[in-house]
Amino acid sequence: MSRQDAAETEPASVGAETYVSASRRIDVSPLAAAGAVPDRRRFCWLHPEEPDLLAVGATAAVTVDSPDRFETADDRLTELFGAVDGPDAPEIAAPRAVGGFAFFDGNTVPADTQSHWRDFDDGTFVLPRAQIVAGDDATWLTVTVPEDEHSELSSQLDGWADRLTDAGTHDGTEPEATAFHWSLSREEWERTVDDVIGRIESDGLDKVVLAQELTVDLDAPVPVAPVLSRLRETYPNCTTFCFSPTPGRTFFGATPETLVALADGHVQTEALAGTTDRGETAAEDTDLADAMLGDEKYQVENRIVADTIADALRPVADDVTVAEPSIKRITNLQHLHRPITATVPSETSVLSLAERLHPTPAVGGSPRRAASDVIRDVEPFDRGWYASPVGWVDGDGDGTFVVGIRAGLTWDERLALYGGAGIVTGSDPTTEYGEVRSRFEPILDALEVELP
């Protein structure tokens, strides 16, 4: 086993040592490089407004499983970045930690369990062995190793460059679907929506996001890199991402929703809630969008999210600005959308903001705790990392987290897809059933799999 492999199976513990990194230019896109390492832990990040990023392997890992998981991750990542001797390279090439959190805390699944979310802890971050970031002018490879491998750094850079530009490796063939398993049948779903509306009315809740899990049996593993490439092409204004905390188990998708981005004290987030179809023509598209903009139920659904986000930011941020509702049009749907911006002091970390915001009522509900209780009570499956924060953090505490929706988990020859819809008083169970099915389209279309 090479030293690269040894470090991946047993990541060094934080604080135990120091690390060194070095960077050089490379002539391969992060997405193409992802296809060259199908057997590795990978994190891929194709964000519409950020440089493409691929992270491979793990020089160090931080896993957290306490109710203070965001704070603990923040502290431990600060410690970790403090132990990395930075590269003499442009800022864009600086090492980042990549990963995310489960939807609920207390979610850590024991290693010997059958749950398909095993290896996805309450929170997991990785300081990658190799990272590729595509800037405007150049693409950078950064390799980070424990200090005692310092003398090998230059040969490891060359080794990774060769390996990541190896166009001969592929992620496998196109699978066919052989069976579909729904967490709730159509009748059960409609009954559950009615039950949730009853609880909203009797317990004085504003909103609960109810989700479905659809597990698909396949006749071959999902070819992750080609699927990411199709998602990127088909959903260009979404963030296509993947994260495998262990090789062979990958959470991936193309999400329209950013939880929070922090860069130099500037915060960007959004209220994304309210859904309608795409029209067949531009005129029909506009009619559907106008109908949603003028509909009180959608306005309420979105306002709950915007108000909750703004209220969560105000104690720590200045200039919290919530835009008027507009339409975010993605390839298969249109959403009601309000961008939200703010400024924060320079010492604020993106993880502390993610902690304040997750879960927004776009994926949880309002009030947060009561809605979460309803979700735990009525959803007959483990949300795992569905609808949770996934993203990256740098040594300054800046970074971006998206909300892991329009997403699925794949392992062996299986795929578990997740989709939810916001339930408020007045929601129609049949409409919401159709909405949830539409959440599976991006990934199923990328695999050319049709729902029965």
Ligand X SMILES: C=C(O[C@H]1C=CC=C(C(=O)O)[C@@H]1O)C(=O)O
DSSP classification of residue 36: T
C-alpha 392/C-alpha 43 separation (Å) is 10
Whole-number Cα distances in Å, 347 to 56, 94, 99, 264, 357: 29, 19, 21, 10, 18
Name the minimum Å distance from CB 160 to ligand X. 35
Residues 6 or more apart whose Cβ sits within 8 Å of residue 135: 51, 90, 92
**Read out DSSP for 106-168?**
S-PPPTTS--TTTT--SEEEEE-SEEEEE-SS-EEEEEEEEGGGGGGHHHHHHHHHHHHT-TT
Residue of 420, 404, 70, 357 lying closest to 257 (CA atoms): 404
Name the minimum Å distance from CB 273 to ligand X. 5
Closer of 335 and 356 to ligand X (Cβ): 335
Residue of 40, 273, 272 lying closest to 166 (CA atoms): 40
Closer of 84 and 405 to ligand X (Cβ): 405
Closer of 21 and 302 to ligand X (Cβ): 302
Among 362, 393, 417, 447, contact with ligand X (rule: CB under 6 A): 362
C-alpha 316/C-alpha 85 separation (Å) is 31
**Does residue number 389 form part of the binding site for ligand X (CB under 6 A)?**
no
CA angle 149, 151, 157 (to 5 degrees): 80
Residues 6 or more apart whose Cβ sits within 8 Å of residue 259: 269, 354, 357, 358, 360, 389, 391, 401, 402, 403
User: CB under 6 A: which stretch of 38-46, 145-153, 225-233, 271-279 binds ligand X?
Assistant: 271-279
Closer of 397 and 442 to ligand X (Cβ): 442
**Does residue number 275 form part of the binding site for ligand X (CB under 6 A)?**
yes
Among 96, 199, 249, 439, contact with ligand X (rule: CB under 6 A): 439
Place of tokens 């470090």: 7
User: CB under 6 A: which stretch of 87-95, 223-231, 235-243, 417-425 binds ligand X?
Assistant: 417-425
Residue of 137, 34, 136, 154 lying closest to 87 (CA atoms): 154
Going by DSSP bridges, is the β-strand pair 239-246/389-394 parallel, antiparallel, or unpaired?
unpaired
| Window 91-130: contact mask with ligand X (x via CB under 6 A) | ----------------------------------------
**Read out DSSP for 236-267?**
TTSEEEEEEEETTEEEEEEES-EEEEEETTEE
Among 14, 34, 143, 421, contact with ligand X (rule: CB under 6 A): 421
Among 422, 424, 444, 449, contact with ligand X (rule: CB under 6 A): 422
Q: Rounded to 5 degrees, what are φ and ψ at 43?
A: -130, 125
Closer of 116 and 406 to ligand X (Cβ): 406
User: CB under 6 A: which stretch of 72-80, 197-205, 351-359, 418-426 binds ligand X?
Assistant: 418-426
207 is catalytic: yes
Among 365, 419, 429, 442, contact with ligand X (rule: CB under 6 A): 419
| 194-213 binders of ligand X (CB under 6 A) | 209, 211
358 Cα distance to chain centroid: 12
296 is catalytic: no
Going by DSSP bridges, is the β-strand pair 84-85/19-25 parallel, antiparallel, or unpaired?
parallel
Name the minimum Å distance from CB 335 to ligand X. 5
**Does residue number 363 form part of the binding site for ligand X (CB under 6 A)?**
yes
**Does residue number 406 form part of the binding site for ligand X (CB under 6 A)?**
yes
**Total chain residues near ligand X (CB under 6 A):** 18
**Does residue number 405 form part of the binding site for ligand X (CB under 6 A)?**
yes
Name the minimum Å distance from CB 435 to ligand X. 6
Name the minimum Å distance from CB 182 to ligand X. 15
Closer of 313 and 362 to ligand X (Cβ): 362
Catalytic annotation, pick one of 257, 301, 432, 435: 257
Residue of 223, 235, 168, 184 lying closest to 379 (CA atoms): 184
Among 129, 232, 335, 358, contact with ligand X (rule: CB under 6 A): 335
Catalytic annotation, pick one of 149, 207, 270, 328: 207
Instruction: List, by residue number, the catalytic residues.
Output: 207, 257
Residue ranges that bind ligand X, judged by CB under 6 A? 209, 211, 257, 272-275, 335, 362-363, 387, 405-406, 419-422, 439
